[in-house]
Structure formats: structure tokens, C-alpha cells
Structure 1
Amino acid sequence: MKPLIVLLGTFIIAITVLKLARNTTDYRLAGRVAMASMLSFTAIGHFMFIDGMKAIIPDFFPLKTEIVFATGVLELVFAIALFYPNIRALTRWALIIFFIAILPANIKAAMHHINYQTGANDGHGVTYLWFRIPLQVFFIVWVYMSTLKQAQ
């Protein structure tokens, strides 16, 4: 829920700033700013909640600490890459694949009631997937739409 609030809140702020500063409404740019903010926000969690993040990684993966750090760094790289037009299409597809790839961790967290911050078994539970899976699809659509080329 927090990433969604960061995404939508930043989008509203970006639209407002663009309108005031440039007298334009560039929804795609505002969308990229919002997604970069959300990715930066979630990346911080990878460095603050290491044990909780390790707990949601499916059991068959080795090197869980390294995966937590690598995915945090990857989110920061994606956040920056969204602003480079020459790699925007590559970033779009890489982020879409990333959002699909992290879904098993969210499913494990829900199935086992894992709190991603603490690693304790007091998380949201399976009903959370009714929110999380559509949210993941929403993030994918958001990335796709905000990284398309502007019509000339």
C-alpha cells in the first residue's frame, strides 16, 4: 500500500509542478518521476529490512542477503534509467520482467503471513494477494504507459 501512495502522491506533485513551471501537462514524464520515486522508496526497504526481505524470498534461492541487496540496487538503477531516452524501451521491458519476477516473493509473504519488515509471521496473509496481484499489474501498465515515446 505504501508504494502505491508514494507513486500516486508523487504523480500528483509532479503534474502540479510541471503545470506551474512549464505550463504543460506531461503525464508520461510525471509518470516516470512517480515510478522513480516509488522504486527509490522500495529500494530503501531492501537496505533497512534485510531479514524481512530475506524471509519472503522463495526457499530454493541461495544467497538471499545478496539477492536482497542486488534487487535494491537494481530498483535504484531502474529509477535512474527511466530518465534516459536512449535506454527507456530497454528499461521498460526490464522493469516489467522485474515486476513479474518478484511476484513469487509477494505470494510467499502472503501464504506464510510474513511481514517483510521484520520477517515475523504476522503479515497480511493470503487475502492481501487480492490487492497485491492487481497492484503488480497496475505497476506494469504504469511503466509501459509512462515509457512510451511521445507522439510527434
Structure 2
Amino acid sequence: MKKILYIGSKFLLGFLLVIGGIAHFNNTEFYIKAMPSFLPFGEFIVYASGVIEILLGILLVITKTSRNAAFAIIVLFIAIFPANVNMYLNHSDFPEMSETALLIRLPIQLLLIGWAYIYTRQKEDK
């Protein structure tokens, strides 16, 4: 049962990353608006991060690349944290989300990092 949960949750995280990456292409303006204004080349960063998310989601579920992908996912989650902070600080720019929802997203980022960390600790699926 533990192995099923381990593999199932890894596939779920990988799937969520792929879906999130695809969203960068389907809702580019939202992601550009979420980025801190001091970052240049907003559209390029949104597309590049979307591709990276998709690739990491796929690499996470491949046993051979899972551990390295998990480390990269942690780096990705840390790198996108300023966008979540920016969204909260500029909550009026995101009327589709409540200020509370934007605030809750911040600690959720830590949970996502913890979730990815699980897959850095094992070289093979248990």
C-alpha cells in the first residue's frame, strides 16, 4: 500500500506540473501579470517556465530521472515564489481570486516543496 501511495502521489505531482505548464500557454497574460515587474522578458519567462514545468512533470515519473527532477522542481517552486508574493501584494490585479486565497497560496508553496522533497530521498520507487 505504501508503494502505491508513493507512486500515485508522484504521478499526481507530475500530472499537476504538466497541467500547470500547459496553463502557461493557455493563459499567458495571467502569468505575465503575476510576475514581479522588475523581471524583464515576461512573455519569454512565462513560456520557458511552462516548458520547464512540463518537462519536470514528465521527468519526475521516470524512475531514472525522478530524483534529479525532484531537486529541480524544488528549485522551480522557490523561483516562482516571488510571483505568488507579487500576486498577494497586488491582489486587486487578480479579481478572480480573493485576497485570502492569494495569501493561502504562500504557505502552500512550502507544502509543494515538501511534496517534491519526498522524491529526492529515494533513488528508486519503493
What TM-score do you get using the length of structure 2 for normalisation? 0.85
What TM-score do you get using the length of structure 1 for normalisation? 0.72
Percentage of pairs with the same residue: 27
**1:63 match:** 41
Structure 2 residue identity aligned to 1:95: I
The 3 A distance-change label for structure 1 pair 124 and 148 is: same
Shift of 1:138: 1.0
Residues 82 and 147 of structure 1 are in contact (CA less than 8 Å); yes or no, is this contact kept in structure 2?
no
Shift of 1:79: 0.8
The 3 A distance-change label for structure 1 pair 121 and 31 is: closer
**1:26 match:** 4
Runs of at least 4 residues of structure 1 off by over 6 A? none
Secondary structure in 1 aligned to 2:115?
helix
**2:117 match:** 144
Task: Report matched runs for 1:59-138 at 5 Å.
Answer: 59-113=37-91, 120-124=93-97, 126-138=99-111
**1:10 match:** none
The 3 A distance-change label for structure 1 pair 130 and 110 is: closer
Shift of 1:41: 1.4
Shift of 1:87: 2.6
Residues 39 and 78 of structure 1 are in contact (CA less than 8 Å); yes or no, is this contact kept in structure 2?
yes
**2:18 match:** 40
Equivalent pairs counted in the alignment come to 125
**2:32 match:** 54
Q: Structure 1 stretches of 5 or more lacking a match?
A: 1-18, 115-119
Higher relative contact order (CA 8 A, sep 6+): 2
The 3 A distance-change label for structure 1 pair 124 and 94 is: same
Secondary structure in 2 aligned to 1:102?
helix
How large is the RMSD of aligned CA atoms in angstroms?
2.3
Shift of 1:148: 3.1
The 3 A distance-change label for structure 1 pair 26 and 101 is: same
Residues 3 and 125 of structure 2 are in contact (CA less than 8 Å); yes or no, is this contact kept in structure 1?
no
| Structure whose alpha-carbon radius of gyration is higher | 1
